[in-house]
């Protein structure tokens, strides 16, 4: 896969500015294979996670992105759609079971082409910088394709791009890549769901170790965000630890 617009944005128009402005630091990127399918499983702190990982990665990455990024009205919506399409982001519907299965089918097609696939197992941005329970879709893709999963920790991107902001702030951010996690190691965990759950939990544990985030193992980020947005506060048991 070679996307010329992606290349120009990364190396000429946007990438050089981000390298100077945010001075991203990296660790472990040499572990990404030079060719062939690979799954990059990242924590999700900010919209601009999908800028910084492609910026530092040695290969062009295809991301699955929520369809709302491609359907906003007006000029801003048109520019947003152009940008996300130009940076190898594929729209998916995160709604019902049928939509989720369609998203997984899209992920399988990306890997069948031999491309790197970027996914966020939390399913949405963290509302508070903590690492939430992972959803099993990524693991289902890995188990079906037997493609290794590399945990990717985004560091400080929520300081560069806080929720609600679009202009990056001049903080340093980083990207750490961990050792590959192999789906075959989890095929003895029981039925298909048990395998996917065990693999997902292993990925989230690796992300917590890489990123240093407080881990919220029993709650999904989307459920906590919904509760906070409804003015109901954190669900019982999901409250941040007092420091």
Q: Output the pLDDT for position 239.
A: 96
Q: Does 152 fall in a domain?
A: yes
Q: Are 94 and 100 in contact (CB under 8 A)?
A: yes
Instruction: Report, as an integer, the average pLDDT of 52-67.
Output: 92
Q: Name the least confident of 76-85, 203-212, 214-223.
A: 76-85
Residue 70 domain flag? yes
Q: Which of 57-71, 121-135, 227-241 has the lowest mean pLDDT?
A: 57-71
pLDDT for res 26: 98
pLDDT on residue 75: 85
- Domain span including residue 168: 26-229
Contacts of 230 (CB under 8 A, 6+ apart): none
Of 105, 94, 39, nearest in space to 70 by CA:
94
- Residue 63's SS3 state is strand
- Residue 7, in any domain of the structure: no
Helices (H) and strands (E) in the chain — how many of each? 9, 9
DSSP H or E stretch at residue 117: strand 116-119
Which phi and psi angles does 27 have, rounded to 5°?
Answer: -155, 130
Length of the chain: 243
- Decide if 236 is inside a domain: no
Rounded to 10 degrees, the C-alpha dihedral 115/208/225/117 comes to 0
94 Cβ contact partners less than 8 Å away, ≥ 6 residues apart:
66, 67, 100, 103, 123
Q: Enter the DSSP assignment of 236.
A: T
Helix axis angle for 137-145 and 192-211, nearest 10°, is 110
Residue 240 included in any domain: no
In this predicted structure, the answer to whether residue 33 has a pLDDT above a threshold of 90 is yes
CA pair distance 138, 120, nearest whole angstrom: 8
- 41 within a domain of the structure (yes/no): yes
Mean pLDDT of the chain: 93
Please state the φ and ψ torsions of residue 233, each to the nearest 5 degrees: 70, -170
Report the CATH number at residue 62: 3.40.1130.10
- Mean pLDDT value across residues 174-195: 98
Evaluate if residue 128 carries a pLDDT over 90: yes
pLDDT at 154: 99
Whether 18 is in a domain gets the answer: no
What is the pLDDT, as a whole number, of residue 215? 98
131 and 122 Cβ atoms separated by less than 8 Å: yes
Determine contact, residues 198/186, Cβ cutoff 8 Å. yes
Q: Is the pLDDT of residue 93 over 90?
A: no
* pLDDT at residue 102 greater than cutoff 90: no
Tell me what pLDDT residue 1 has.
60
Q: How many structural domains are present in the chain?
A: 1
Does some domain include residue 10? no
Other CB atoms closer than 10 Å to residue 78's CB: what's the count? 11
């Amino acid at each position: 896969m070679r996307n010329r617009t992606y290349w120009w944005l990364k190396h000429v128009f946007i990438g050089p500015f981000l390298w100077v402005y945010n001075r991203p630091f990296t660790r472990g990127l040499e572990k990404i294979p030079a060719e062939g399918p690979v799954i990059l499983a990242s924590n999700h702190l900010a919209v601009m996670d999908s800028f910084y990982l492609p910026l530092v990665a040695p290969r062009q990455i295809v991301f699955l992105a929520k369809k709302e990024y491609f359907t906003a009205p007006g000029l801003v919506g048109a520019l947003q759609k152009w940008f996300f399409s130009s940076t190898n982001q594929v729209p998916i519907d995160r709604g019902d079971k049928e939509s989720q299965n369609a998203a997984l089918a899209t992920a399988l097609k990306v890997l069948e082409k031999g491309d790197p696939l970027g996914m966020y197992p939390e399913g949405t941005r963290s509302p508070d910088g903590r690492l939430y329970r992972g959803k099993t879709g990524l693991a289902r893709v890995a188990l079906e394709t037997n493609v290794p999963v590399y945990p990717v920790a985004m560091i400080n991107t929520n300081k560069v791009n806080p929720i609600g902001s679009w202009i990056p702030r001049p903080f340093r951010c980083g990207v750490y890549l961990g050792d590959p996690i192999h789906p075959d190691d989890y095929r003895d965990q029981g039925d298909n769901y048990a395998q996917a759950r065990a693999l997902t939990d292993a990925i989230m544990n690796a992300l917590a170790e890489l990123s240093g985030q407080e881990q919220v193992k029993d709650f999904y980020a989307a459920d906590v965000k919904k509760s906070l947005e409804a003015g109901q506060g954190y669900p019982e048991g999901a409250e941040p630890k007092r420091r």
